[in-house]
């Protein structure tokens, strides 16, 4: 999942993050997923807020050449922000989101892409390949993005509940299932998650 520096990137300045009707739709989807996966909707919403601040279309690109990638997206007039080795990309609507996604897929080598996270729950491309799902659909449809995000949350709990403590289980979404890796966490992600959890109504 998305790395700790998302907190630097995903500020609440984009259209959807300011749209109460869209935020309510996200809350409704979280309630549906609460019933489907038996995950407290507040937990799902806390991950949404931590990962994207209710913005449906961000992409966090990890690249060997951040300067080149930034130049490309600046040239396309798509808002982005660099912090080596990452480029955070902020499409403002579904049309621009699809365009940005296609640019990445069609210029993988030129952009020197290493990895990326996408959508409202910042699903990781390598994780989603394991599902065999249509990645572009999961990116452009926030409900499907949340569905897979909730499945990952549930998977973290199921896999780790008898092996480690709650802090590691909560950070699994961001850091993966390796307990040794989780144990080395500085807990910055966990701190943001817990702060966001407290803010969810």
In total, how many domains does the chain have? 1
Q: Which residues contact 142 (CB under 8 A, 6 or more apart)?
A: 26, 29, 56, 119, 120
Structure confidence at residue 93 (pLDDT) = 97
* For residues 123-139, average pLDDT: 96
1 falls within a domain: no
Q: Which residues contact 70 (CB under 8 A, 6 or more apart)?
A: 80, 82, 87
24 falls within a domain: yes
Where residue 18 falls among pLDDT bands split at 50, 70, 90?
low
100 falls within a domain: yes
81 falls within a domain: yes
* For residues 13-34, average pLDDT: 84
Domain of residue 48 covers 6-199
pTM of the model: 0.89
Q: Are 18 and 12 in contact (CB under 8 A)?
A: yes
Q: Judge if the upstream peptide bond of residue 85 is cis by omega within 30 degrees of 0.
A: yes
* For residues 174-187, average pLDDT: 97
Percent of the chain with pLDDT over 90: 90
Based on DSSP, count helices (H) and strands (E) in the chain, helices before strands: 11, 5
* For residues 91-110, average pLDDT: 98
What is the CATH number for 114? 1.10.530
* For residues 114-143, average pLDDT: 97
72 falls within a domain: yes
79 falls within a domain: yes
Structure confidence at residue 3 (pLDDT) = 45
Secondary structure (DSSP) of 170-182: HHHHHH-S-HHHH
Segment 54-77, tens digit of pLDDT: 999 999 999 999 999 999 999 999
């Amino acid at each position: 999942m998305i790395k700790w520096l998302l907190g630097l990137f995903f500020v609440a300045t984009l259209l959807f993050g300011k749209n109460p009707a869209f935020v309510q739709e996200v809350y409704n989807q979280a309630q549906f997923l609460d019933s489907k996966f038996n995950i407290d909707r507040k937990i799902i919403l806390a991950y949404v807020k931590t990962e994207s601040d209710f913005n449906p279309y961000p992409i966090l690109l990890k690249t060997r050449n951040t300067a080149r990638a930034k130049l490309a997206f600046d040239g396309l007039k798509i808002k982005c922000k660099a912090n080596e080795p990452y480029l955070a990309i902020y499409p403002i609507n579904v049309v621009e989101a699809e365009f940005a996604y296609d640019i990445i897929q069609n210029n993988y080598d030129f952009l020197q892409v290493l990895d990326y996270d996408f959508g409202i729950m910042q699903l990781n491309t390598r994780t989603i390949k394991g599902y065999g799902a249509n990645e572009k659909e999961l990116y452009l449809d926030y409900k499907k993005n949340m569905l897979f995000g909730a499945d990952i949350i549930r998977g973290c709990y199921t896999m780790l509940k008898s092996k480690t403590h709650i802090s590691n289980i909560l950070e699994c979404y961001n850091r993966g299932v390796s307990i040794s890796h989780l144990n080395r966490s500085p807990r910055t992600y966990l701190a943001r998650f817990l702060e966001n959890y407290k803010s969810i109504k």
